[in-house]
Structures are given as structure tokens and as C-alpha cells.
Amino acid sequence: MARKIGILTSGGDCPGLNAAIRGVARAAYEMMKDVEIIGIQDGYRGLIQGEYRLMKRSEFSGILTLGGTILGTSRQPFRNMRVIEADNVDKVKAMKANYKKMGLDCLVTLGGNGTHKTANLLSEEGLHVIGLPKTIDNDIYGTDVTFGFHTAVDIATDVIDRVHTTAASHGRVMIVEIMGNKAGWLTLYAGIGGGADAILLPEIPYSTEKVIDLVQRREKAGKGFSIIAVAEGIMDREEAKMKKKERMAYRAQTGFASPSYRLAHEIEVTTGIETRVVVPGHVQRGGTPSSYDRILSTQFGVHAARLIQEENYGNTVAMVGSQVTHNKLSDIAGVPKLVPTDHQLILTARDMGICMGD
């Protein structure tokens, strides 16, 4: 009887998803005698609604360099997974029923923190699940790196590189708002790689005065422009003392689209230097994966296939040091990996005179 493996991609898309899908499938075909790959459409929504198909071997060719996901994806918040909403669907019951209907031996889930929390939920419900850590935020606990992160760093760094020339030409302060709501890995790496003068992270509440002081010191030193890399989830010192609802209400009152725009306004009003905000947004998620991410995704996919072959379920793949390994879903689900304030790269930035906002 054929070994049946279901695959879904959930949450935000990123480069490397197709490479990982390919890695799982090609390794499974090689390792196991009789395998069927079931592609589940649009993430957990497809598992809930029963939207899936038997995939052909040919579908896994020519996708190594392809961005996005051939299976489609969607966001299904974990907090609502056990909530029966207006459609009257018991989502957990529906996922378990469709798993059995497909006759799956294992479900492979590719995604970030929310995806892993739901994967752990299904594992606790008795399903055989293997996770693959995908996110440009690099914030999944237990793995040194997630696939998608390296490509996003390249893209964000390129944005900062390009902003340098226009900032220098016009004598402006340029704030580049990089993705990362709770974790600042992407901003930290891109900020250093792109030569930013200041790097602001969610983990380090910033002082507006400190940032303005940097800008003014650079101007006095004859440097006619400044580049500030900020994560979208930054908070100033006062906001960091607030609860989430209080912070959201405060921000609504200020009338700025994001903290980046408020900071830009404060810099321009105080210094008189024209200050602009650049938001690359979803560009950071798109396009062809870097060679590093192609290799990492392939390694992760192959390791997942090996776990399936060994019937070693309830795990998620990880890179620790230079070794591909795995962690228990129950150990990593819901545990974010934030940037430690004493991380070596932060110390490197400080030693170079890069302002961290504090």
C-alpha cells in the first residue's frame, strides 16, 4: 500500500517554499518504494474545507527557483482554531476528518509560528505531523535559521543600498521600514549589510532624542545624509511601557500610518532636514530564492522525508550549527525567537558606532 504524504503551506509566502516542497517529494520518491503526495490547497483552509489533489511527479520539476508556493497559502489564526464561528464549522474536527479521508500517513506543514502552533495542536490530536520552519522573520525557536530569511535579507539590503544614493544626492534622512513585527532579525542583518547609520529593533525600545542626536552629529561632521533601518514593530520607550491596546489607541491618536512616519516627522521638525520613509513591504517576500535558501530548503525537505521514512512524527526540522536536525513540535510551538540584546551582531553594530536607539 502506498505511503500517503500530505503537504500544505500556511501563513505568509516566502522564497524557498517550492524548493522545500520539491525536497520533500523527491526524497520521498527515492527513499520509499510506493509514495503518493497529496497537495492541500491554501494551507489549513484547504485541510478544513477538504480541498486537495493527488500530485504528479512532474509537478515537482522546475520549481526549485520559483518564488511563492504552487500549493497556495492562507492565514488561519491559531487563536481561532478551536472557535466555532459563523459558518458553524468545527475546524479541528474537520481537519482530522479530512486527514483520515485522504488516508494520510503523515502531514507536512510548511510555515511560521502560527503554522507550528496548529501543527502541534494536530499532533496532540493524534495526527502524524512534520513541520518545516519557514519565515522571513527568522523567529522560530530551536533553529538557527529559517528558509526565506536569507533571501529577504538580500532584498532588504539591496533596498538600503539603493536608498543610499538618493539620500546622498538630496541630503535627506531616509528611514527604511523593514518587515518584522516582534523580531528584529531581518532589520539587524539588513541594517548592517546595507551600512545603515541607525538600526531600530522591536527588542530595544528607542529614544527619539538619541536618533535625532545621531542625525545632528552626522550633519555637523559634514555627512549630509543619514540612513535609518527600522523594523515595522519598533516602539519608543514610552510605548514600551504600555499594554497593546493602550499602544494602539495612542498610535491612532497621533495620526501617523506607522512609528516610522512619526519618527520621520519628529526628525524633520527638530532638525529641519528633509526626512522620507521607504517601505519595501511585500517585495521582501517575493521573487526567486537565493542559492542559500534553495539549498537550505532542499536540506530541510529531505530531512522531513527521512523523518517520515522512520515514522518519527511530531517534530519540526531545524538547523543547529551546521547540522540539519529536528525538535519536538511541543517544545517550539508558540515560543518566539527574539533578538537577544547582547547578540554578537548587536555588539558588532555598537562597536562600529551604529546607533541602536537606546
For the domain that residue 324 is a member of, what is the CATH number? Answer: 3.40.50.450
Backbone angles phi, psi at 214, to 5 degrees: -60, -50
In this structure, the answer to whether residues 100 and 224 fall within a common structural domain is no
In this structure, the answer to whether residues 273 and 177 fall within a common structural domain is yes
In this structure, the answer to whether residues 82 and 204 fall within a common structural domain is no
In this structure, the answer to whether residues 310 and 251 fall within a common structural domain is no
In a domain, 339, yes or no: no
In a domain, 358, yes or no: no
In a domain, 265, yes or no: yes
Active site residue 105: no
Structural domain including 251 reads: 152-285
Helix/strand/coil for 19 = helix
- Would you say the pTM of this structure is higher than 0.85? yes
Task: Single out the residue in 254, 285, 316 at which a domain terminates.
Answer: 285
Structural domain count of the chain: 2
In this structure, the answer to whether residues 121 and 176 fall within a common structural domain is no
In this structure, the answer to whether residues 246 and 298 fall within a common structural domain is no
In this structure, the answer to whether residues 133 and 194 fall within a common structural domain is no
In this structure, the answer to whether residues 211 and 141 fall within a common structural domain is no
Task: Report, in angstroms and rounded to the nearest whole number, the Rg of the chain calculated over CA atoms.
Answer: 22
In this structure, the answer to whether residues 244 and 116 fall within a common structural domain is no
Which of 105, 137, 236, 293 is catalytic? The answer is 137
Dihedral (CA of 312, 318, 324, 327) sign: negative
In a domain, 33, yes or no: yes
For the domain that residue 202 is a member of, what is the CATH number? Answer: 3.40.50.460
One-character DSSP codes across 206-247:
B-HHHHHHHHHHHHHTT---EEEEEETT--BHHHHTS-HHHH
Determine the pLDDT at residue 258: 87
In this structure, the answer to whether residues 173 and 260 fall within a common structural domain is yes
Dihedral (CA of 243, 248, 249, 253) sign: positive
- pLDDT tens over the chain, length 358 residues: 789 999 999 998 999 999 999 999 999 999 998 999 999 999 999 999 999 999 999 999 999 999 999 999 998 888 998 998 888 899 999 999 999 999 999 999 999 999 999 999 999 999 999 999 999 999 999 999 999 999 999 999 999 999 999 998 898 999 999 999 899 999 999 999 999 999 999 999 999 999 999 999 999 999 989 999 999 999 999 888 888 888 888 888 888 878 999 999 999 999 999 999 999 999 999 999 999 999 999 999 999 999 999 999 999 999 999 999 999 999 999 999 999 999 999 999 999 999 999 9
In this structure, the answer to whether residues 170 and 123 fall within a common structural domain is no
CB of 147 closer than 8 Å to CB of 133: yes
In a domain, 248, yes or no: yes
Determine the pLDDT at residue 56: 96
In a domain, 342, yes or no: no
In this structure, the answer to whether residues 257 and 194 fall within a common structural domain is yes
- Specify burial of residue 353 (Cβ count, 10 A radius: 0-12, 13-18, 19+): exposed
In a domain, 26, yes or no: yes
In a domain, 354, yes or no: no
